[in-house]
Amino acid sequence: MKKLLSVSLFSLLVFAVQAQTADEILTNYFETIGGVDAWKSLKSMKMEGTSSMQGMEFPITVYSKRPNFEKVEISVQGMQIVQAFDGENAWSINPMMGSTEPAKATAEESAEAAKRTFEDAFIDYAEKGHTVELLGTEEIEGTQAHKIRLTKKSGDEEFYYFDAENHVPIMMRSFAAAGPMKGQAVETYLSDYEEHEGLIMPMSMEQRINGQTFMQGTMTSVELNAELADNVFTFPAAEQVTDEEDEMKEGMKKEGAEMKEKSEKIKKKAKEKGSN
Amino acid sequence: MKVCFTYLLCLLSVCGLAQEPVNISFGALRARSIGPAVMSGRISTVDGVHREPNLFYIGAANGGVWKTRSGGASFDPIFDDYTQSIGHITIDQAHPDTVWVGTGEPWVRNSVSVGDGIYVTLNGGRTWAKKGLELSERIAKIQIDPNNPSTVYVAAQGPLWNTGGQRGVYKTEDFGDTWQHVLSVDDKTGCADLTMHPENPNILIAAMWDHQRYPDFFRSGGAGSGLYMTTDGGENWRKITTGLPSGELGRMAVEFAPSNGEVVYLTVEAAEGKGLYKSYDGGQSFEFVNGEFGVTVRPFYFSRLTVDPTDENKIYKCGLNLSISEDGGEGFRQVGSGVHSDIHAIWVSKSNSDYVVIGTDGGGYRSLDGGYLFEMFMNLPLSQFYHISVDNDTPFNVYGGLQDNGTWFGPSRGSSGMIRNSDWDITNWGDGFYSFRHPTKKEIVYAESQGGNLVRFNKFDGQRKDIKPLPEEGEPKYRFNWNSPIAISTHQPDRIYFASQFLFRSEDMGDSWDRISPDLTTNDPERQRQRESGGISIDNSTAENNTTIYAVCESPVDENVIWAGTDDGNLQVTQNGGADWQNVVQNIDGLPRGTWCSYVEASPHDAATAFVTFDGHKGGDQDIYVYRTNDYGQSWTSLVGDGIKGYAHVIRQDPEVASLLYAGTEFGLYISLDAGLSWRRFKNNLPATSVRAIDIQEEESTLAIGTHGRGIYFIDNLGPLRQSSSEIKDSILHFYDLPPTVVRLPRMSRPFGGAGNFAGGNPSASAEIAYYMKKRHTFGKMRLEVFDQDGNLVKELPAGKSAGINIVQLPLRLPPPKSAPTKNRMALFGSLMTPALTEGEYTVRITKGKRTFEHQIALKPDENSLYSKEERMLQQKVLKDLYDMTEQLAHVYGALEEMEQQATKLEEPTIKSFGEEVAKYKATLVSLDGDFYVNEGEEAIREEISQLYLGVSTYPGKPSDRQIQKAAMLAEAFSEVKSTYADFESRAKAHNKKLLAEGKKPLVWKTFEQFKKA
């Protein structure tokens, strides 16, 4: 018991020493990206750009707002794919998956989405219940980088690699939370950092699994503190839709009704068959 | 350090080589894994989660740790950043995300690798922490105290080729932060097995093993071996002798029956009384049960027992075959059903004891019927190559021999878009080593099995001719190494070299031989003990044959210069085709006498230059020895500097760029861009496994890498490495010149195989754009654009941002056409077809901040294409017309829809009815009746265009006459559509005049250009 105690004291001590260094790295980082105060006063953001997947390019718009509201719109061959979180529910519209109706995600997916906060997790990380630990330096894309482990209050771990010279993260490694890729490391490479109204942010990100790029995004415009009402993010209910969405919805309803009619016909037929 | 560095610098500048170190990041240059998994490789350990048997872990001899959650349908490598030789895996069954991995395989054959301690994960393998025991080299067993999982016992088998290190039983009570050495015997004895009482974790039995290997000898057994028991968690140990043989013991396996702590099984290696023993009193005393072959065979390789978790009488014994007893060891059945021989690991699920997973020399298998029938995991690329070579076919093939898995060859590019298990073919059985295809005769392949059994295989009829040189009258017995050197000649295609203690040359593909050397070894009788090798159990498999020639190379520059290196430390060279030989090893400073010569490479640039590696690990020396001579061996320079480690197996010099060197060591591939001044480990997709063989395919500029545990890898384009010289290393951005990209026609894939089969990637089908950057691009914009010869923007691509080498893939397909809606399946397929980027020159422009950089790349057709340029151009023309027609129709449809939607909402009846008219016409252009499946609906022009587009696009040659006619008919029909549309457009414009005059919003619709952009 005594031994155990001394070991944990020792590790606490080590942790304290390392945390200090990690904090220095984070201080440099905050200074480089425009200061904690400036980032804390940022309320919302709208970004537009292009994303590419498997050699195909799509226009992308990302809306985000405190505390954890998010909506991503991707246009594929004229079809809108939407993924959003409204503080409570994650939901999506994905015509590529066969439905133009908005669909709520599973509770598990919603819980995952809720964890993605608008504010940088490193800001006031201790108050948020997260911990950080410096794990040394590693070479990332030919560049010396400090490796920092962020352990979130939830227990989730993410690894950030801060460019030792330029103080900004150039890579982030997280782990897929669900699905067939569950547990797989996803690496996000960050570059094209640019200044917008005093804030420095990466305009290009590339996601790789097993070293292979599967998604890449380049942002071309940024609107800070964009006017974004909560209902931009909420799961579409009849009273909240804008004109444009209205039209879309009407179209969807129509299709929905057709589908319903069809399926009822099929059901009816099946019944008839069954009774024969 | 600085002094040493300057000294090296001077030496190399004297030789007229690179004078300053070039040490750049390999950036985005990646190795491509092609498996193979068809024969897989040696598995040393398996453990699974009892309550979830489809979740298990496999530890490979030299291929890391693999995890499956699907009972083997797919595996993920989860230990690639660490030592690849795995000794034992133990899951904490109460917390199954906690997994301990002991490194260093305990099945100590002559080719076994080495570990570096113990690791643990708390999250199922996502992240690992190293927990010490670095000097144990091999960990045979890990036992967790189920009542207190921070208490763990480890059987450290210890260094094999040396005494000392960490060996015996180690115990931690603080989750591996500190270890107590609770059982040790002497500096030659390690712990080979350790078993814990199923109810009382303070009771353990340890099998201690006195053993050592040497280059020429193996000893299993000695005074140190013995069986020990503790009943107080390792504080005190008592030697158990009751019922055991009285003489010296060798390796033992020991296992408590999980369902009854009074029953313990034991196999004993002994001169007399070897066999299976059983205890009925919890290990206090043992009774002999059975001495049959299955339980006594080759103890050093197979001493592992598993007892069924619920049935104390069902036991599994590893061996040449898997032996299973259901009556407490009285009788055994041997498992057949096509399972590879040499079983090392068994796991039986507690929740369903018919669920059995085993590891063998040839991969992993699973049984669902308690060990009768087994199916193989065909997705574990653990193949253990000793040597590989490439031929000059298109696509080229790679040949190589493997540990206990014969000799195989397979393609570098599979015809179905990937390299499958079924693409590989076997040329010879046994353990396989060197294999070469004849330089000009495509059907002839040389292969060998252990101890010098050389064959010539014919791909045409699959027959092998034994061409091993046999002693002539009066000659001494030939001594062939386990892994005898074959060499072919770049000067004479029919020439082949083979070696025992003598070097042989054949000018007729091995039909007849000339001996062209005296005994080139020390012929030291002290090193010729293989007949007594093995210790207690004689094990004379040729694996310990020594005083043999191990490495041979004919100079590609001068066929009279031949090098031969021996396993007892000689390095011999002839400059007159074998008439005279000189041993030049004494000219090498710093090399311990008698060190095994592992490889010799005669420079492809200069007859007097050669590179050589020596490997002393079998004598207990794990240092690295790599040298170069420029004067036929009169003087040597060490090429070992910072950045390279592991005992060395091979070194190759690039045939184009003399300063580019490739070295394989036990811990990976190392590349030097500056003639050996500095080295860097190549990590991009290549784990730190043993790299034993390297070959270079010159036409394709490809590096082929043969590993002893993870199969074969390629680095597909050596251009960036060859062009990374000191001149470019300070460039902000420098384009590498790559050869034109050959546009290859895709073949159909073979679908519906389901999961469970490995497929290796083909080389990239894209054009590659490669450039060097001194620093990573992190701040500001960076864009990459590609323009055709007319200056049209063809593609914008995400730029690579890495310091060092960047490779950006330019897909050779353009986007599919924008198309109007349809519900017809074939039409939909049609509009998803992407036309090819045509052959020719393209300009790449990178904009990085304020600077721009430009470079030309080229696409060229496949020289072996069956289609003439005229035919290809015609196909492209017809396709382009249909592509344009598809997009124009899509625009017409879209614009009509815009008009319709706005017009029908207006009050004004003429405009409203105009809208209705538009709607009516619009509906005639497409078919929306179908269901994308079996209901094809009525076809309109949209469907006709897309179906024809589909037909024409699938064949790269001349379209059929009917297709050409149909295209003309559709063009005619579409011109009518266009004129109708023009009519609607002018009517809409007229309506707009009126609307504007009334101050109302006019009808708006997109022009074709706007539509294209949207």
pTM of the entire structure? 0.91
Q: Which two tokens stand for residue B642?
A: 């910072």
Residues B347, B531: Cα–Cα separation, whole Å: 36
Please give the pLDDT value at position A272: 52
Interface mutation vs chain B, best among A191, A208, A250, most B CBs within 10 Å: A191
Q: Which two tokens stand for residue A255?
A: 């299709």
Model confidence at A10: pLDDT above 90:
no
Model confidence at A76: pLDDT above 80:
no
Q: Which CATH class is domain A2-67+117-233?
A: mainly beta
Model confidence at B833: pLDDT above 70:
yes
Q: Nearest by CB to B803, from A55, A143, A203: name it.
A: A143
Residue B837 carries which DSSP code? P
Residue A262 carries which DSSP code? H
| Distance, first Cα to last Cα, chain A | 77
Q: Is A70 on the interface with B (CB under 8 A)?
A: no
CA distances to A126, B212, B219, B274, B534 from B109, rounded to whole Å, are 53, 11, 12, 21, 11
Q: Nearest by CB to B803, from A141, A203, A216: name it.
A: A141
Model confidence at B15: pLDDT above 60:
no
- pLDDT confidence band for A19 (50 / 70 / 90): very low
Contacts with B, A 159-178, CB within 8 Å: 163, 166, 168, 170, 175
The Cβ of residue A121 has, within 10 Å, a number of other Cβ atoms equal to 18
Please give the pLDDT value at position A107: 86
Please give the pLDDT value at position A6: 43
Please give the pLDDT value at position A98: 66
Please, what is the Cα angle at B331 between B329 and B336, to 5 degrees?
110
Model confidence at B335: pLDDT above 50:
yes
Q: Is A193 on the interface with B (CB under 8 A)?
A: yes
Model confidence at A245: pLDDT above 90:
no
Please give the pLDDT value at position B55: 98
Residues A139, A144: Cα–Cα separation, whole Å: 5
Please give the pLDDT value at position B74: 94
Model confidence at B212: pLDDT above 70:
yes
Model confidence at A53: pLDDT above 90:
no
Model confidence at A14: pLDDT above 60:
no
- DSSP symbols for A102-170: EEEPPHHHHHHHHTS-SS-TTTTTTTTT-EEEEEEEEEETTEEEEEEEEE-TTS-EEEEEEETTT-SEE
Please give the pLDDT value at position B161: 98
- pLDDT confidence band for A207 (50 / 70 / 90): very high
Please give the pLDDT value at position A267: 52
Q: Is A250 on the interface with B (CB under 8 A)?
A: no
Contact state of A191 with B126 under an 8 Å Cβ cutoff: no
Pairs of residues, one from chain A and one from chain B, whose beta carbons lie less than 8 Å apart = 86
Q: Mind listing the pLDDT tens digit for each residue in B429-454?
A: 999 999 999 999 999 999 999 999 99
Structural element, H or E, at residue B824: none
Please give the pLDDT value at position B13: 40
Give the chain A residue nearest B818 (alpha carbons): A77
Handedness of CA B645, B649, B653, B655 (dihedral sign): negative
Model confidence at B166: pLDDT above 50:
yes
Please give the pLDDT value at position A268: 59
Average pLDDT over residues B981-995: 96
Q: Which of B298, B288, B302 is nearest to B330 (CA)?
A: B288
Q: At what angle do helices B869-903 and B941-953 cross, to 10 degrees?
A: 160
Model confidence at A94: pLDDT above 50:
yes
- pLDDT confidence band for A77 (50 / 70 / 90): low
- pLDDT confidence band for A189 (50 / 70 / 90): very high
